[in-house]
Structure formats: structure tokens, C-alpha cells
């Protein structure tokens, strides 16, 4: 893979950051707060990677628009009530990103987070200087639309054939398929290996740091 790819696009939550349990908790608490059916754990995990608006609409299709807005706002307030730090990265992620850059790879992020949330998170985790580009759900179309990847490739003047998407959810891998780029799945986040393998990733790894064995 070292000679095949020179742009690696990472998802954020569940791929680089161990945040899935907290996201699920915040979604469930928001539902309880506004009297909505509390989604089961896997149902809440299934929407991770989507924009918050698409996630709320998927989880609560029968609620009115005002309640959906309240749910999204409550989720955001609760999520950001917890301060993120370098310890929230999966073990070894910072060193992995450094090694990939030293090896000549350019790095980017494609995430369902809002741009303000990602900006805060990459600074708080100490990885801001390691990425060449990013796209968030409020800057472009939500996953699995390929526009996030398309815009990153255009911004960096990259070769689509030499671009790799790394993610933990079906939304990440479907976005890669839609963008006609290769993908690698990681099982430390939202979805299982059995689910992710249906999207034909080149590899299905336990953690993103396992990628170093191939670069």
C-alpha cells in the first residue's frame, strides 16, 4: 500500500477518536429529555457519521421539526460538556499520523461533525498540524454523498486512484464507493467486521494504527 496511496482521508469519531460510547449516551439522553423513544445502542451507533440533522431525522422520523431541532441542540450541548484531550485518541494514533506524514502521505479528515466541533477537537487532541485538509457536514453534503472526498481531492490536487478512505462506519465506506476511491475499514467504532466487509474494503482492521503494517 505504501506505493499505492499518497492521500489518506480519515473519519474522526470511532476511527481516530474513541468517542462512540459518549455519542450513543448523548443521543439517548437527548431522546429521553424530549420524550422520544430512546434508541437502542446499535441503532444509535448506526447513525454515527451522518450529519446531526440527518442522524436525528433517521432516528426520530415521526417527530416534528421543532422537536428535532431541540434534540440536535441538546445533543450538541451534552456532547461538548465533556472536554476532549489527547487521551481520547485511540492508543498510538498520534504516532501513526506522524509516521504516515514522514513517509510522504498527505492526511485529511472527512467527518459528520460540524466544522467548529472538529476545529476544537483537533486542537484539543494535539493533531491539528498533521492534517492537510478537512471537510465537515456543515461545509458540504453529508455522508455517504461523495462530495466530502471529491472536495478534498480537488483542494489538494490529488489523484483519486491514489486516495484511501479509512473509516469505522458503513457511511464512510459507502462514501468511498460513491467517490470511487479505495477504503480500509476499522472495527473499533460503529460497525462490526461482518457489516463493514459487505462494502468491499481493501482491509478490515481492528484499529487505525494497524494500518502502519501496510505503509
CA-to-CA distance for 22 and 13, rounded, in angstroms?
10
6 is catalytic: no
Q: Could you tell me where the beta strands, DSSP code E, fall in the chain?
A: 7-10, 106-110, 133-135, 163-167, 182-186, 203-205
Q: Which of 3, 6, 11, 145 is catalytic?
A: 11
CA-to-CA distance for 143 and 54, rounded, in angstroms?
9
Chain centroid to Cα 200, Å, comes to 18
13 is catalytic: yes
CA-to-CA distance for 42 and 17, rounded, in angstroms?
18
Supply the residues annotated as catalytic.
Answer: 11, 13
Amino acid at each position: 500500500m505504501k506505493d499505492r496511496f499518497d492521500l489518506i482521508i480519515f473519519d474522526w469519531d470511532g476511527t481516530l477518536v474513541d468517542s462512540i460510547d459518549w455519542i450513543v449516551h448523548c443521543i439517548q439522553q437527548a431522546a429521553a429529555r424530549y420524550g422520544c423513544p430512546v434508541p437502542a445502542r446499535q441503532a444509535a451507533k448506526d447513525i454515527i457519521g451522518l450529519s446531526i440533522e440527518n442522524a436525528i431525522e433517521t432516528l426520530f422520523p415521526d417527530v416534528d421539526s421543532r422537536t428535532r431541532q431541540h434534540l440536535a441542540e441538546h445533543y450538541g450541548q451534552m456532547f461538548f460538556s465533556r472536554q476532549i484531550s489527547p487521551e481520547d485518541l485511540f492508543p498510538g494514533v498520534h504516532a501513526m499520523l506522524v509516521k504516515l506524514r514522514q513517509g510522504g502521505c498527505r492526511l485529511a479528515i472527512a467527518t459528520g461533525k460540524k466544522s467548529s466541533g472538529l476545529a476544537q477537537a483537533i486542537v484539543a487532541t494535539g493533531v491539528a498540524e498533521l492534517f492537510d485538509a478537512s471537510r465537515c457536514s456543515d461545509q458540504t453534503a453529508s455522508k455517504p454523498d461523495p462530495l466530502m472526498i471529491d472536495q478534498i481531492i480537488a483542494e489538494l490536487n490529488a489523484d483519486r486512484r491514489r486516495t484511501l478512505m479509512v473509516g469505522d462506519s458503513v457511511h464512510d465506506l459507502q462514501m468511498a464507493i460513491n467517490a470511487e476511491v479505495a477504503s480500509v475499514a476499522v472495527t473499533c467504532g460503529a460497525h462490526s467486521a461482518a457489516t463493514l466487509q459487505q462494502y468491499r474494503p481493501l482491509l478490515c482492521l481492528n484499529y487505525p494504527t494497524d494500518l502502519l503494517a501496510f505503509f
